[in-house]
Structure 1
């Protein structure tokens, strides 16, 4: 009962989810024998042939007894499984839907009747999955998870007889990769070997690591080189440069205070001798 409680009631738009949970519950409880194997075939009792001796016929009957015993055991197990599968299926279907499904002797026949009620929704669901596969794009977050996600989507098409071959799925994965993987895809197309999904995941993970290492090296190179100095072009730096050639005495640009004529005249008025040699004047002032 704990397993059955995990099966959502079949109401209308959740057939795929219901079917997956239904089969999972029966498998975990080891009651899916009737779903995975056909009903055992009853052996035909031996009939005495013309001119057959009593000893030979007795020997055939003895051999047939073992076959019959094996069949009886297998048929009993299968009947128990079939009854449980039918009970779980009927108990997890809403009353409105269950009333429109005819009774069947086997669980597999009953499930086919249920599936026929949702043929339209199955086609729409398949169409949605196919569009999702073709429009899927890798935007980061781990390429392994991206491939597994696409593989899981493709696996949902198998119950509808629309399963994709690994080779086709691999090309869909390549089509979903960004431009950084173009060289990687070209190399695959040029080699004669074909990959399976496990090989694809392994190689794509290696390529992802290689691309990340290259991006890291490029960033470190740019950091080491640094940015070009912009002091000569930045307006603020130009103002600072001008301030260095501004006289603190007359507030004019183009010379320093020690070279200012007004400043030198002021020195003469104060009795400070004027040095004609500019070199000595700069040192002194």
Structure 2
């Protein structure tokens, strides 16, 4: 039985826009309870909100889906920036998400739908959404169900995924990057946080920017020049993580349409 926390109360967040004005949202959030992840705002969610507010064109006027929306902060902020916003999560969290969606001013309101990554089908065809967002939903070692959902939602369309990942373990972050490159059939690159990802491969680094955030981007093809994603893609092409620790990376291989390091299993033997 899923029991929501008893300390849920309004929380106000403010993020600076590119024109130096602020966007403000108020959501309903629990102040404690690590296991109640759907009721608490985590670092990656705040980081992605800051990114979206710096470049509102990422979501403005777009059909946007948030996976694992949890507290609803990212969905509320994206809605204030002009996104046609849909938030999704496990069925047991939907009542809380709906309360957040109906809370406060009309501007940040958004639709709420159930979506479990391990289910047999995704209820939308590829390209139904222009942008798919996710924050702190890649903390598990096995992300296969999530990556399957992402592949289905993107397909061969022009949809773009932004996943904000909070680094709690360098090994897990490096492994996530490797898994995404192997299992996602399009183009994967670092939209923001290149230095954080690079630090995960450096055996001499012991700090590895604890709580640092990497925002991965994924699409079926390279972003068109002049779009809001092309600048980050071109920048990452210039710095494809070449200086990597031999303790983690045995060689650097390029796959068609892919950028970055290729990790081999230690049992590879060569």
TM-score tier (shorter): under 0.3
Structure scoring higher RCO (CA < 8 A, sep ≥ 6) equals 2
Which has a greater percent of strand?
A: 2
The structure number with the bigger radius of gyration is 1
Structure with the higher helix share, 1 or 2? 1
TM-score (norm 2): 0.24
